Amino acid sequence: MNLTFAITDANTPPGVAAVSTTPSPGPTAVPVPLSAGEPDAATLARAAEQTAGALLAPAAPHRLTEVVPAPQHVQPDPTADWVLPAEAVIVTSANPAALAVAEQLAQFLRPATGYPLPVTDATTPEPAGGIALVLDESADLGAEGYSADLGAEGYRLDIATDGVRVTAATAAGLFYGAQTLRQLLPAAIESPSPVTERWALPGGTITDAPRFPYRGAMLDVARHFFAVEDVLRVVDHLARYKLNHLHLHLTDDQGWRIAVDSWPKLTTVGGTTEVGGGPGGHYTKADYQRIVSYAAARHITVVPEIDLPGHTNSALVAYPELAPDKTAPPPYTGTEVGFSYVDPADERTYDFVADVLGEVAALTPGPWLHIGGDEAFKVKGEVYTGFVERVQRIVADLGKTVVGWHQLAPAAHLDGRVLQWWGTNGEDPTTVDAVRRGARLIVSPGNHAYLDMKYAPDTPIGHDWAGLIDVRKAYDWDPGTHVAGVPAEAVLGVEAPLWTESVTSLADIELLLLPRLPAIAELGWSTRATHDWADFRDRLAGQGPRWTTAGITFHRAPEIPWPTAPTIPTQRNMPQTDTARS
């Protein structure tokens, strides 16, 4: 037990306790029920004693390996542990993108530390007792005795007696280095208000780079609509775990969520419904752009999905001319799939598709446009492939790259196209054939990566059509070999979709996202050599106090040894050790 957890639990913002569906059996010396109200006097006394001890004897910093996703190469140097001093400066290369990362890091570190942490730039940034973020395209980023091509997203993190240095060839690399740094600090760093802590970091060097270029999560904002603020918070969760794509499922039978000027009723009519009969909602173009730029600032690319030709009931309600029988269907607020489709035989449908995709493309700086294509059960054979091929060309003419669910596979190949595979058994000759013709794959196996599946039979929300997905099931598979016959080189990456038929609040989203999102993130980022369930489980456990401190809901999965901790109040004016002031 260390001081960190004592402080973090005490700082949980009121009303945002971790969701505990099962009591945690955490292996701690001081068992304290987390949700049983006030701790008793003896427990408090024991905790106070431990806290005092921790203040006198410098607490050991985190281990350098205690990071999710697991870094590629870690070289600890116990002689080089370092404590962030109150007067530390964050210095970075004189480059706007590097300065932006430095400012983000400062903004993240200031609330809990209460330190000013000014940001400056320099031609040759040096830690000088603080933190240096060095943008250097020519840097030799390999650690001693180890050389690595860190690519466009890699970084090197050195923690030494003179401070911290993050070196990367890109701002994205610096950003990921900063995320690692964040996880190496005590969990109390997540506190929104100042706490007394010794901000110790473990000495050594991390050299790190991702396995796959595409690491994503999907949020279905169509079945239930979620406010911009909720989406931004999901972006924050992605950023923590070095995910770099947010796929937004913007349209479905139950609601159309993105404003399209040329077809205004899509939102004014089609956006007013959702599963269960709630009011729905939609993003204005400004809302959407706010999400896009918030994500971009965190090195996350938004992938907008307009699901075609099925999953279109909300569009048909707004514009009956798109319906095969030219009649408006009733609005749909149930959870069935596969019944609706836009008329593939009517030219007006392609005007609609071109207008919608054109406006969405114009709002989207990223390269991708996702055209859905799943579960169009009533559009079969050549009619389906003919429709898809026309839509693929529309996307290409807009200068974007097509992404679609793997049902697109039988359609003709188009340069660069990407299929998102969501099967459940790893066998799919049609997808393998599309890959042979040049398609790349994003893998989202329904029975491993679907975040809307329940963890266990008693999970209060979620589905189970693809089975139950506990944390181990989310972790124990390999995106590089999962689809038989698809070579690892054809795998662009991995994505965890969250469908929201049963998800109605941010707390629901977080309950299903955490702790499985970090498992998928690790599959996307970490080399296979580091894949180890027992080790992952321990590293993941360390994230729990961070989420608790930050007021983030999560599922206290019973297979994870979450630390339990005495909850003691902490005050800003508690005495600091000399080291903490040095």
Positions annotated as catalytic residues are 375
* CB nearer ligand TNX, residue 30 or residue 466: 466
Site for ligand TNX in 432-471 (CB under 6 A): 450, 452, 463
Tell me whether strands 255-256 and 301-308 are parallel, antiparallel or unpaired.
unpaired
Q: Which is nearer to ligand TNX, 343 or 452 (CB)?
A: 452
Tokens of 323: 């319906």
Ranges of beta strands (E only) in 503-580 are: none
Tokens for 131, please give them.
């933190």
Q: Closest Cα to residue 33, out of 565, 582, 572, 575?
A: 565
Which residue's CB is nearer to ligand TNX, number 211 or number 440?
A: 440
- Minimum gap (Å) between residue 463 Cβ and ligand TNX: 5
Q: Which two tokens stand for residue 495?
A: 């994505």
Residue of 44, 100, 228, 337 interacting with ligand TNX (CB under 6 A) = 337
Q: C-beta of 94: minimal distance to ligand TNX in Å? A: 46
Of 176, 225, 422, 536, which one interacts with ligand TNX (CB under 6 A)?
Answer: 422
**What gap in Å lies between CA 580 and CA 582, rounded to an integer?**
6
Of the pair 93, 420, the CB lying nearest ligand TNX is at 420
Cis bond upstream, residue 460 (ω within 30): no
Chain centroid, CA 469 distance in Å? 18
Where residue 145 falls (left for φ over 0; alpha for ψ -120 to 50; beta otherwise) is left
Residues 81-100, one symbol each (x = binds ligand TNX by CB under 6 A, - = not), give: --------------------
Q: 336: Cβ–Cβ under 8 A, 6 or more apart, which residues?
A: none
Q: Helix, strand, or coil here: 130? A: coil
Instruction: Give the residue with the Cβ less far from ligand TNX, 343 or 501.
Output: 501
Shortest spacing between CB 364 and ligand TNX, in angstroms = 20
Angle between helices 516-525 and 533-541 (to 10 degrees): 130
Establish if 274 lies at the interface with ligand TNX (CB under 6 A). no
Task: Confirm if 264 and 212 have CB atoms less than 8 A apart.
Answer: no
Among 294, 499, 525, 536, binds ligand TNX (CB under 6 A): 499
For 433-482, give the secondary structure using H, E and C.
HHHHCCCEEEECCHHHHCCCECCCCCCCCCECCCCCCCHHHHHCCCCCCC
Binding mask 279-318 for ligand TNX (x = CB under 6 A): ----------------------------------------
The answer to whether the beta carbons of residues 257 and 356 sit under 8 Å apart is: no
- Least distance between ligand TNX and beta carbon 302 (Å): 18
- Count Cβ atoms below 10 Å from residue 18 Cβ, excluding itself: 23
Q: Can you say whether residue 485 is alpha, beta or left, with left for phi > 0 and alpha for psi between -120 and 50 degrees?
A: left
Binding pattern for the stretch 378-417 against ligand TNX, x by CB under 6 A and - elsewhere: ---------------------------x------------
Q: How far is the CB of 335 from ligand TNX (least distance, A)?
A: 8
CA distance 112 to 379: 55
Are 494 and 520 contacting, i.e. CB atoms less than 8 angstroms apart?
yes
We find the least distance from the C-beta atom of residue 419 to ligand TNX, in angstroms, to be 11
Closest CB to ligand TNX among residues 130, 373: 373
Angle CA 494–497–500, to nearest 5: 175
Instruction: Give how many residues touch ligand TNX by CB under 6 A.
Output: 10
How many Cβ atoms from other residues are within 10 Å of residue 425's Cβ?
10
Q: Which of positions 543-572 make contact with ligand TNX (CB under 6 A)?
A: none
**Contacting residue, 136, 287, 375, 476, with ligand TNX by CB under 6 A:** 375
Indicate the residue among 171 and 439 with the shorter CB distance to ligand TNX: 439
- The phi and psi torsions of 155 (rounded to 5 degrees) equal -155, 160
Residue 333 C-beta: closest distance to ligand TNX, Å: 14
Work out which of 81, 208, 374, 470 binds ligand TNX, going by CB under 6 A. Answer: 374
Q: Report the residue number, 158 or 452, with the smaller CB distance to ligand TNX.
A: 452
Give the closest residue to 182 by CA, choosing from 115, 253, 108, 125.
108
Site residues for ligand TNX per CB under 6 A: 337, 374-375, 405, 422, 450, 452, 463, 499, 501
